Structure 1
Amino acid sequence: MAKPTELRFTEPGMRLLENEHRYLSYLMEDWHAIVREFEEKDMSLEKGRERLKTLRQKLYEFVEPLKNHTDKEEEHFFPVLGTYIGFEQGPLMGIQEEHQEIDGYIGHFFHHTRGNIDIMSLEDMQAVAKDAGEAFEVLTIHFVKEETVLFPMAEKLMKAVDQDELYAKMNTLIT
């Protein structure tokens, strides 16, 4: 079994996406720790406001690399893999729906924190932090699905020429 620091896939395109998952997971752990703080029963209103502002900033910094990663998958990876496994049903359809679900949770969080956090109640802050927590949960499961279903399929089914072209298109930074 691969060590957590080792990449499991051999094709450069899949290694690139897997490595991006590692980076995004690293960023997620940072802001998810704040989400977990909101589950504590003894959080003060003042601490809640301070932590929610930090959470909003960390999520804001997370959105661009996430968007760049998902854009890469949707514009390049999914269309190529779809020519091998189909688009209308199966894993690609579910994965793409998860992208929308993740966007929804994060968008809902930003919608409800766009105003003055200093007038929010602790209960409101805890409720909106749950949106970030839901995004974390969906993202975590999403990465596992891609790495246990889609990436192995791609390595097994895709022709070398498609793998090479895919890597050339996706070999860009997400930050």
Structure 2
Amino acid sequence: MEISNYMRDEHRMCDEAFAKAEQAASSGDFTEAFRHFEEFMVDTLKHFDKEEEILFPTFEEVTGSSEGPTQVMRYEHNQVRGLLEQLKDAIDKEDRERFFSVADTLMILLQQHNMKEEQMLYAMCDRVLASQAHEVVEKMKTH
């Protein structure tokens, strides 16, 4: 399996959970919104961990560079982590207006972030890590 396919599938899974959280919040069901948000947050943070602890270091080791795309992705991951905390707070307070304000910011950031990863970084990983792609994906699956 290509790295890009595996990681793209994880993006889609996270997107689906987030959409369900937004739907529930929109209808005022904050218990359900929290359940889906928690799934989204856990899956997103696990995805970041896989990238930051397995994929990025492997890519950096092979390319000899920790500057560039992986550095940008780590910075954006930290931005997302901050927004996740703000969203959790909005759900805890059942603040619908704040939830959707933060959710809009998060969605824009994630769409741009995922597009950069999917169109640039993952394609680079597929090329540079071709000989060890299967091993890298298996490590991420069990992480």
Q: What is the aligned residue count? A: 142
CA distance in structure 2 between the aligned counterparts of 1:22 and 1:29, rounded to whole angstroms: 10
Which amino acid in 2 is paired with 1:66?
Answer: T
| Residue 165 (structure 1) aligns with | 135
**Is the partner of 1:86 in helix, strand or coil?**
coil
1:98 has 2:98 as partner? no
- One-letter amino acid of the counterpart of residue 13, structure 1: I
Report the equivalent of 1:110. 88
Q: Distance in 1 between matches of 2:64 and 2:4?
A: 17
Question: Which residues of structure 2 form unaligned runs of 5+?
Answer: none
Structure 1 unaligned segments of length 5 or more: list them: 1-10, 38-46, 118-123
**One-letter identity of the residue aligned with 2:133:** Q
Cα 1:18/1:100, change in 2 over 3 Å = same
CA shift for structure 1 position 28: 2.5
Cα offset, 1:86, TM superposition: 1.3
By percentage of residues, which structure has more helix?
A: 2
Q: Which residue of 2 aligns with 1:25?
A: 15
CA–CA distance in structure 2, aligned partners of residues 25 and 112 of structure 1: 19
Q: 1:58 aligns with which of 36, 40, 62?
A: 36
Q: What stretches of structure 1 move > 4 A for 4+ residues in a row?
A: none
Task: After TM superposition, list the pairs within 5 Å mapping 1:138-157 onto structure 2.
Answer: 138-157=109-128
Given residue 81 of structure 2, which amino acid in structure 1 is its aligned partner?
A: D
Is 1:128 aligned to 2:99, yes or no? Answer: yes
Name which of 55, 61, 65 aligns with 1:86.
Answer: 65
Percent of aligned pairs sharing the same letter? 22
Q: TM-score, normalised by structure 2?
A: 0.82
